[in-house]
Chain A
Amino acid sequence: MIDHLIPILAGTLAAATPLVFAGLGELVAEKSGVINLGVEGMILIGAIAGFAFATQTGGGAGAGLIAGAVAGTLAATLFAILSLSLGANQAAAGLALTIFGIGLSAFIGQSFVSYSLPGLKPWDIPLLSDIPVIGRILFHQDWVVYLSWVVALAVAWVLAKTRLGLLLKAVGESPESAHAIGYPVIAIRYGAVLFGGAMAGIAGAYLSTVYTPLWVQNMSAGRGWIAVALVVFATWKPGRLMLGAYLFGGMTILQLHAQGLGIRVPSQLMSAIPYAATVLVLVLISRDRKLLQLNLPASLGKSFMPGG
């Protein structure tokens, strides 16, 4: 039994990693009061940029991830100019970015359909990977999974322990007050949105260069939307976000295994299970209104223009 479970649980971590990156990025952006619905588009742009760069330069997954981060940041810059500098509606600008990302990635991707990449081999963490069962699950992963933990810890630490985190929360709650006491609201929001873009770009590049190392049109398959939903249901807390991401990853792997066992349920229905289950569970655990109220960035989605 354990022998069957280990690959499932280990696979869960890899399957969840794009969500962890994209979700953390969106969490930071939303903490600053900006809701970016362009995550799906930024993931796809990151995916094709990473894949193209990795195949063209032969630089491997590492180069791909960097290219993905750069491309995601550029895409986010586009969104930031529209919504932060020009005061466009955040929801509309984000949706436009997603549509743009889907189209652009499909267009560029046409010439990369036949390529493939070697992916990444797992790294065993010395000593830790020797722990029975847990070691095989947690510490026998590719290095990007470890990187996602580092990023998660860093985001949690910055939000909880630093002046920057405090400032992010303050700007997200009341940009007017933050402006009144003399903080550069727009610059801080730019920073948060661009970070979100970089993370979404890495998420996409991980999909196309490591997780399934080839290009398939629309390969993010709605993960960007799940990431946006995760942030809300996680009540803007990094720990809960990780939990939600791994839940989704687990369900993805489980239904793949179930399909492999030949259970007679239409595969489309099976593929929908992770999405439905994640949303259901997160709705249930986020019913605590007090928690939601205390953590919701009060100015989320409202544009702010510093006036005289």
Chain B
Amino acid sequence: MLTTAPLDHPPPTGEPRLQLLHITKRYPSVVANDDVSLTVMPGEIHAVLGENGAGKSTLMKVIYGAVHADIGEIMWNGRQVHIANPAAARALGIGMVFQHFSLFETLSVVENIALVIGGKFDLPALAERVKSVSEKYGLPLDPNRLVHSLSVGERQRVEIVRCLLQNPQLLILDEPTSVLTPQAVRKLFETLRQLAAEGVSILYISHKLHEIQELCDTATVMRGGKVTGHATPRNETPASMARMMIGRELPVCHAEPYTGVSAPVLQVRGLTQPTDDPFGTPLEGIDLTVNSGEIVGIAGISGNGQAELLAALSGEALVASDMVRVGDKPAGALNAAQRRDLGLVFVPEERLGRGAVPSLSLTDNALLTAHRQGMVKNGLVNYAAAKDFATRDIARFDVRTGGAASAARSLSGGNLQKFIVGREIMQTPKLMIVAQPTWGVDVGASAFLRQTLIDLSRQGVAVLVISEELEELFEICDRIAVLAGGKLSEAVPKQQTDAEAIGLKMSGLFAGTTHGGSHASA
């Protein structure tokens, strides 16, 4: 067995923990990794930086044994190894925290961990270990909570603790901060530095340049499946790293002032919605107006009523007719299709499953909402028109894909998001509602999407963006509100506020000021 060797022969100092030599992985339509080499030393925090489709995820899957390289060698503590599957990787001491968590919702924290940890099946004893490890690394967890009741940040802690319980020598984190609040990111970094100080090597996959500068010792930059550079992030600037990553200057969004007619397009008045979901958040007296030609942002941490508000606005949940008005028409009692007929389009947070059907082609997915654009006549589908629409969408919004016949699930997150946003914009909406527009999307695609939304608003469209990323909201929005505990703060012009003030509102410290101080909920 491979498992006992590292203990018998402790690696001499200076020997790499992990070395990838000339890894090449070809798929039928694309070369995901082309002669990639990479070295990680013990106790090193090593960034792997790259755009969507750069081959980062494939490379990590090769290390974790989920994908096998066509060519190339893997050296582990100085010895050549063949990693047959994830279990073999774990046995070697490689742990991975996935971007899309591999947790079981209906099981408790400790049960989820027990499924990966070997040894005697003793849940109470394991719960104790979970508690002690989670406290040691500042990742508080209740072992007996059911996973579906945890926030995204807490789920990530479960994944990290699950890896740590196996005493890994190498920890792989795939876009770990895309779901965390600024405070949670700080905590995570403390944990990672503590682990590195104990000799654990860390592979940190990300596209957030400032985080990599703050955290990582070294970086390997990838583009188009190839390594385009090695860097010491502290000696670089975000601009120089971005050049290596996307091969050009870091894109910046430009927002001209809107000069057209400004009239209310979305009006929400006293939106109150109790919930029968035991884990949902009831909405309380939400007032909001979005005018043509402006972008209004709603900040806040997910789970504070975002899902409920989006459902009430998109028409997935029906409310009293006057609570939601689109244009000059009461729309609260209209369903999603009827609201779309009024010129509302909606881009949900879940791209796969709600924004698009994973197994359907892009043409079929275009048809799902854009059928209003003359693709259906007398109940018959005009596939030529649908295919033409999807093809124009792909070309206009720079979607990297094999073509309109590709299945939605074959696209990377950023490319699928471009396709979905494009599909909605091409329906010439009056009002666009977008949730987490750049969740898990890299720098290049994010900038593209943000600029797209700005351009759309300057054509006189009202745009509402719900996002957890404060930086993003400050970059593109004209006014920003905060949703906390099912209540919405007043939307204020971004020039009159800052991240600090928004952060305070996120903890619910606004109800008193906007509603006359009668029911402050701190």
B258 contacts A by Cβ under 8 Å: no
Q: Which positions 113-172 of chain A face chain B at CB distance < 8 Å?
A: 162-163, 166-167, 169-170
The answer on a CB contact under 8 Å between B107 and A173 is: yes
Pair B86/A166 contact, Cβ less than 8 Å: no
Closest residue on chain B to residue A171 by CB atoms: B104
Given A163-B114, A166-B115, residue A173 in contact with residue B104 (CB < 8 A): yes
With contacts A180-B66, A182-B86 known, is A163 near B121, CB below 8 A?
yes
Q: What residue of chain A has the Cβ atom nearest to residue B115's Cβ?
A: A170
Closest to A289 in B: B276
Q: Given known contacts A180-B66, A180-B86, A290-B278, is B102 in contact with A170 (CB within 8 Å)?
A: no
Give complex CA distance A166, B111 in Å: 7
**In the complex, B165 has a CB within 8 A of chain A:** no
Known: A182-B87, A290-B278, A308-B67. A167 touches B115 (CB 8 A): yes
Residues 163 to 202 of chain B near chain A (Cβ within 8 Å): none
In the complex, the answer to whether A182 meets B107 with C-beta atoms within 8 Å is no
Contacts A182-B85, A182-B86; A177 near B102 (Cβ below 8 A): yes
Instruction: Please state if B103 and A177 are interface contacts (CB–CB under 8 Å).
Output: yes
A283 within 8 A of B: no
B96 → chain A closest CB, angstroms: 9
Kindly provide the distance from the CB of B81 to the nearest chain A CB, expressed in whole angstroms: 17
Once the chains are docked, how many angstroms separate the CA of A67 from the CA of B278? Answer: 48
Chain B neighbourhood of A290, CB < 8 A: 278
Cβ-defined contact, B105 with A298, below 8 A:
yes
Query: Distance (Å) between the CB of B122 and the closest chain A CB?
Result: 10
Q: Does A77 contact B (CB under 8 A)?
A: no
- Chain A residues whose CB sits within 8 angstroms of the CB of B116 once the complex forms: 181
- Closest residue of chain B to A182, judged by CB? B87
Tell me, in angstroms, the Cα distance from A167 to B114 when the chains sit together.
10
Chain A residues contacting B90 (CB-CB under 8 Å) are 182
Instruction: Give the Cβ gap from A238 to chain B, nearest Cβ, in Å.
Output: 17
Within 8 A of A (CB), among B145-171: 146, 148
Q: Does B106 contact A (CB under 8 A)?
A: yes
Interchain CA distance A217-B148 in the complex, whole Å: 48
Q: CB-CB < 8 A to B85: which residues of A?
A: 182
Answer yes or no: A284 CB below 8 A from chain B CBs.
no
Does B106 contact A169, Cβ atoms closer than 8 Å? yes
Q: Which residue of B lies closest to A162 (CB)?
A: B121
Q: Which residues of B contact A163 (CB under 8 A)?
A: 114-115, 121
Would A166 and B102 count as touching, CB distance under 8 A? no
A265 within 8 A of B: no
Tell whether, in the assembled complex, residue A295 and residue B106 are in contact, meaning their CB atoms are under 8 Å apart.
yes
- Cβ B104 vs Cβ A174 within 8 A: yes
Q: Give chain A nearest CB distance to B104 CB in angstroms.
A: 5
Residues of B within 8 A of A174 (CB): 102, 104-105
Contact string, B19-31, partner A, CB cutoff 8 A, digits 1/0? 0000000000000
Q: Which of B67, B98, B106, B114 contacts A173 (CB 8 A)?
A: B106
Chain A CB within 10 Å, residue with most, of B67, B90, B107: B107
Q: How far is the CA of A290 from the CA of B106 in the complex (A)?
A: 11
CA distance A299 to B278 in the complex (A): 22
Q: What are the residues of chain A within 8 A of B87 when measuring CB–CB?
A: 181-182
B 47-82 binary contact with A (CB < 8 Å = 1; else 0):
000000000000000000011000000000000000
> Which residue of chain B is the closest to A174 with respect to CB atoms?
B104
User: Taking the nearest CB of chain A, how far is it from the CB of B39, in angstroms?
Assistant: 27
Question: How many Å lie between the Cα of A163 and that of B114 in the bound state?
Answer: 8
Is the Cβ of B107 less than 8 Å from the Cβ of A169? yes
Which one of B104, B105, B121 has the highest number of Cβ atoms from chain A below 10 Å of its Cβ?
Answer: B104
Chain A contacts for B102, CB-based, 8 A? 174, 177, 180-181
Q: Which residues of A contact B114 (CB under 8 A)?
A: 163, 166
Least distance between B239 CB and chain A CB atoms (Å): 37
Q: Chain A residue with minimal CB distance to B101?
A: A177
B59 CB to nearest chain A CB (Å):
16
In Å, the complex CA distance between A291 and B102 comes to 23
Q: Which residues of A contact B105 (CB under 8 A)?
A: 173-174, 298
How far apart are the CA atoms of A23 and B66 in the complex, in Å? 37
Q: Are B86 and A181 in contact, CB atoms less than 8 angstroms apart?
A: yes
Q: List 26 A-B contacts (CB under 8 A).
A: A163-B121, A166-B107, A166-B111, A166-B114, A167-B115, A169-B104, A169-B106, A170-B107, A173-B105, A174-B102, A174-B104, A177-B102, A178-B115, A180-B66, A180-B86, A180-B98, A181-B86, A181-B87, A182-B86, A183-B115, A290-B278, A294-B106, A294-B146, A294-B148, A295-B106, A298-B106
Interface residues of B (CB under 8 A from A): 66-67, 85-87, 90, 98, 102-107, 111, 114-116, 121, 146, 148, 276, 278
- Pick the 6 closest A-B CB pairs, nearest first: A182-B87, A163-B121, A177-B102, A182-B86, A173-B104, A180-B102
A-side residues, CB < 8 A to B, are 162-163, 166-167, 169-170, 173-174, 177-178, 180-183, 289-290, 294-295, 298, 308
List 19 extra interface pairs beyond A170-B107, A177-B103, A294-B146, CB under 8 A: A162-B121, A163-B114, A163-B121, A166-B111, A167-B115, A170-B104, A173-B107, A174-B102, A178-B104, A178-B115, A180-B86, A180-B98, A180-B102, A181-B86, A181-B87, A182-B85, A182-B87, A294-B106, A298-B106
